[in-house]
Structure 1
Amino acid sequence: MGQGATPPGRAPAPVPRRITLWPRGLVGRVMFVLLVAVALVFVGSSVFYEEAETYTIDDAQLEQVGERLVIDARVLAATPTSQRMVLAAMLSTGDLTVDWRTQTQQGMMKGEAPSLRKLHDRMAGPLTALQGDALNLSGTIAGTADVRGTLRLPDGSYMGFLAPDILQPHHMRRGLLSAAILAGAVLLAAGMLVRALSMPLRALADVADTVGSGRWVPLADKGPREVRYLAHAINKMQDRINRLITDRTEALAAVSHDLRTPLARLRLRAGFLDDPVVQREIEADVTEMEAMIAGVLAYLSGEKDPEPARPVNVASILATRVDDDADQGRNVTYDGPDQAQAVVRPLALKRVLGNLIDNAVNYGGNAHVSLHVTGQSLCIRVEDDGPGLPDAEIGRVTTPFYRVEGSRSRSTGGLGLGLAIVSREVARDGGQFRLFNRPQGGLCAEIVLPRNAVIRQGA
């Protein structure tokens, strides 16, 4: 029996389940986020209620001090002046200290500052003995916790008092700042949790956008339970799509390749015909079929193009192709710089340029190639002086196997794959391809390629 085998008659040990506070399902995680946000709001509200209660306690303490001042003033007023100093000391406590002063001892009394008027009113409340100028808080310093001042007695003498540590500074700006901090903390916590929830979904959307593009990366099996199920389903779907594309590509490539042999035999047998007219017609049909097969193979060969991108001189590629066509007697010209470095796939670029020039010459009679270079991109245009295309067909001519022969020329052949190859190869290099009719007549094919597309993509 192996070391890791389970003995006969004994059940395998159960796999321990991990208990975590973080829910496994998407609904549970959203509920957890809401619960945390509510808890933060509850804690913050409790702090605010405590602050409000403290503010209310301040008003109650001030009213209590005011009542004690009225009572002590009455006691002192009813006591002979010789005994008032002793009585004031007896009336003093830890939270309210009083003393008695004659009018001479009080001297010139300072006026109460306007900033203390609200505190004066809060302390006086409904007590008429403290209202008006009888109560003077000139000794209180604004912003401190102590309240000090004097209360004038009916005989003109004064009772001084000190109520320490009964004021707590409460300002509206402090309350607003606290509320803003609480709201920011709740939003930050909720945002971080929601972001953690949405990251698997964003990754899922990014990967799903590459389905069918040849740049598929299987989704990782992580995140909430629902996201994992969806990722597993998308991975299986992509596998099926890849198999379908591979089977279709291999089947079409095999059929196109195998047709070359009977076409070669047909061309050979046509050479033995006695009728030259029939011989030319058969050879023309064979040539057209070979061109169609070559187009299909060129299109299918780019489905999984292994060609790597590298820095090349795009201007040199354009000029070389234009010179070759001009040497063959075709009306092809080039206008642009001699140097234009970019990171592209050179063979794919040559195939794209060849298709565009062939279309321009076959359908428009000529081709004018131009190159414009900027710091971040380069723009290639292939223009002709032909009849152009109907506006309704411009968006459809890049569809594989779609032909618009009647709109431009009935004398040309083809399988409708040239512009489809151009559109696909330009998109693979991170560029943009568009067709439009020129105002002065003719068609313009424009390609805009980033000069460092592959570097930015991390390839």
Structure 2
Amino acid sequence: MRRFLPQTLPVWVLLIVIAGLMISQVATLYIVSRDRAAANGVVDLYRLNDRAYSLVQLMHEATPEERKVTASGLFNSTYALTVSDTPAVISSIAGDDQLAELEDILVGRLSKFGVTDARVRRDPATQEADAPDGQVMNRDVGQVERDLLVLAADFAQSDKLTASLRFSDGQWLNFTEPITPAGPILSVDSLPLYSLIAGLVVVMSIWSLRRLTAPYRMMETAVNRIGNDLKSPPIAETGSREIRAAAKAVNAMQMRLRDYVEDREHLAAALAHDLRTPLTRMRLRLELLRRSPARAALAHDLADIESIASSVIDFAKFEVTEEKAERIDFWSLAESVVDMFEDASFDEDATPTRGLICIARPVALRRCITNLVQNAVTYGKRAHIGVLRSGDTITLTIRDEGPGIPQAKLDQVFGSFVRLEQSRNRETGGLGLGLTIARNIARGAGGEISLSNHPGGGLLTELRLPLAA
């Protein structure tokens, strides 16, 4: 279920805005509909009260026969009007409190005209209600006439209020008053306007969210860049007060981290460099021990120490050395490195591919590829090289013929001074810095290195770098 939920804050905020907009729109339409129905109900009661007063004022002095003649002249299908000896509303009990109060109002207001009783009820619309003449609606009529015809049809098909008023002579006046039809809140004419307003709100919300979250996206990119390269440019301290404060804190963190790392790198480089002086003196003095049986063992130990010092210096110089990134023809660089090793060769299906341009530090990238190929040749006997392009990524594959690496240790070998070969022989085990340096160089160029055991045997190393624009 969680995989279908949004994963970013802007999408969550946008969904909340849209949901709030929909809820507010529905609530507004409901309130308007309810208030309009209540207002129409009061107007209907007023219309019935007013019509009752007019009819009673017209007929109260007439004879029963004259009332019937008058009623027949005023009768129509929408506003039925009859005079009879029996009421149309049989029940003397009102259907609700509103109608009961209206009956009392009618009796009190019309008593001066001889009305002694009033009954009102609500009746549903009848199926036989007259609809507007189709021929009239189809002919060429004006907009006002068309609206009047439609409104007349709505009144004819709406519910009705039926009233029965009793004169003092026992005769009943019965008439109906149509209830004002409640039109739809959303119509064909108003729906586009509602949709337009909702669309504008959503578009403005998206624009506002993008403007609001742009500094955070910029800071996220900057922090990722700092993780790959501590010497990347600082974040611009612009925007709102909170954004400026956050950018200032990130820049300060970057500066402290860079100073911390550079101090340790310079310290390692200085220590390794200073070791060369006593090592040189020891080698000179060793030359004086030509006949000593310990001379060969001491010479071997000195060679190991010098090799270790050189490796540490190289590792420290990787970040200390200032080198500008350039556009590099990756195929040419890989080809020149492979030519350095007798036991390394390109796959049979690998063809020279020009145009694979990446942006990196030339010397560092060459060192990266060299370390990877050298590891494959040293521990896997032979290295089979492949270069391919996948979308906007350049991939260098190196497959050796060795025993591979246990699955649980594939990530451990990238640590500094990690050696899977447990002997202390530097001819077979190395210092454990080659993969560390290679991965740091790849990440500094925006790429990555991954290791996996090939199904056909051996270790598969993949170097992926982004293709230059």
Asked if TM exceeds 0.5, the reply is: yes
Question: Corresponding residue for 1:294?
Answer: 310
1:285, distance to aligned residue in structure 2 (A): 2.6
- AA aligned to 1:337 is T
Deviation at 1:396, TM superposition (A): 0.8
Matched ranges for 1:152-163 at <5 A:
none
Alpha-carbon displacement from aligned partner over 1:333-373 (angstroms, at most 9, x marks no partner): 12222124222333222111111122122222222222223
Distance in 2, matches of 1:381 and 1:70, equals: 97
Alignment-mate amino acid for residue 150 of structure 2: A
* Structure 1, gaps ≥5 residues long: 1-33, 89-98, 104-124, 154-158
Deviates more, 1:284-293 or 1:215-224: 215-224
CA contact (8 A) 1:398 1:420 kept: yes
Q: Which residue of 1 aligns with 2:143?
A: none
Q: Which residue of 2 aligns with 1:344?
A: 359
- Separation of aligned partners in 2, 1:129 and 1:423: 85
Q: Contact 1:41 / 1:186 at 8 angstroms: preserved in 2? A: no
Q: In structure 2, what is the Cα distance between the partners aligned to 1:332 and 1:339?
A: 18
**1:208 CA drift (Å):** 3.8
- The amino acid of 1:293's aligned partner reads A
Within the candidate set 41, 47, 70, 1:65 is matched to: 47
Shift of 1:52: 3.9
1:381 aligns with 2:381: no
Question: Which residue identity is paired with 2:401?
Answer: D
User: 1:284 maps to which residue?
Assistant: 300
Residue identity (%): 26
Is 1:434 the counterpart of 2:454? The answer is: no
Q: Deviations over 1:389-429 (max 9, x none)?
A: 22222111111222222299874242211000111111122
Instruction: Give the 3 Å change call, closer, same or farther, for CA 44–131 of structure 1 in structure 2.
Output: closer
Distance 1:81 1:347, change over 3 A: farther
1: CA distance between counterparts of 2:413 and 2:428?
Answer: 15
Distance (Å, rounded) in 2 between the aligned partners of 1:45 and 1:132 = 29
Deviates most, 61-70 or 401-410? 401-410
Equivalent-residue separation in structure 2 for 1:422 and 1:211 (angstroms): 18
Change (3 A) 1:401 1:43: same
Query: Structure 2 counterpart of 1:287, which letter?
Result: A
| Counterpart among 220, 223, 230 of residue 237 in structure 2 | 220
Separation in structure 2 between the aligned mates of residue 383 and residue 409 of structure 1, nearest angstrom: 24
Asked if the contact 1:66/1:130 (under 8 Å) is kept, the reply is no
Distance 2:263 2:203 in 1: 51
Secondary structure in 1 matching 2:375: helix
Give yes or no for contact 2:315–2:433 (8 Å, CA) kept in 1.
yes
C-alpha distance in 1 between matches for 2:24 and 2:50 = 39
Residues 48 and 177 in structure 2, CA contact (< 8 A), matched pair in contact too: no
Residue 262 of structure 2 corresponds to which residue in structure 1?
246
Pairing 1:253-402 to 2, within 5 Å after superposition: 253-275=269-291, 278-304=294-320, 306-326=322-342, 331-335=343-347, 336-340=350-354, 341-345=356-360, 346-402=362-418
Residue 141 in structure 1 maps to residue 156 in structure 2: no
Mapped to 1, the partners of 2:389 and 2:25 lie a distance apart of 61
1:96-121 per-position Cα deviation (integer Å, ceiling 9, x unaligned)? xxx85899xxxxxxxxxxxxxxxxxx
Pair 378,193 (structure 1): closer, same or farther in 2 beyond 3 Å: closer
Task: Tell me the residue number matched to 1:54.
Answer: 36
**Paired amino acid for 1:142:** V
1:264 positional shift = 2.7
Do 1:256 and 1:296's aligned partners in 2 also have CA atoms closer than 8 Å?
A: yes
**Matched letter for residue 354 of structure 1:** T
Aligned to 1:420: 436
Distance in 2 between residues matched to 1:198 and 1:220, nearest whole Å: 15
Residue 426 of structure 1: SS of its match in structure 2?
Answer: helix
Q: Which runs of 5+ in 2 are unaligned?
A: 1-15, 78-98, 100-118, 133-147, 165-173
d(CA) in 2 for partners of 1:410, 1:41 = 72
Q: 1:443, CA displacement in angstroms? A: 1.5
Amino acid at match of 1:424: N
**Local SS of the residue matching 1:324:** coil
Residue 271 of structure 1 and its aligned partner are, at CA, apart by 3.0
Instruction: State the distance in 1 between where 2:376 and 2:369 align.
Output: 11
Q: Is the 8 A contact 1:373 1:379 kept in 2?
A: yes
3-state SS of 1:401 partner? coil
> Is contact 2:400-2:459 (8 Å) kept?
yes
- Give the 3-state SS of the residue equivalent to 2:337 in structure 1: helix
TM-score (norm 2): 0.63
State the TM-score, normalizing by the size of structure 1.
0.64
Which whole-Å deviations, capped at 9, do the CAs of 1:161-189 have from their partners, x for residues lacking one?
A: 999xx777443568999988888788777
CA distance in 2, matches of 1:129, 1:300: 95
Q: In the TM superposition, what is the alpha-carbon distance from 1:297 to its structure 2 partner?
A: 2.1
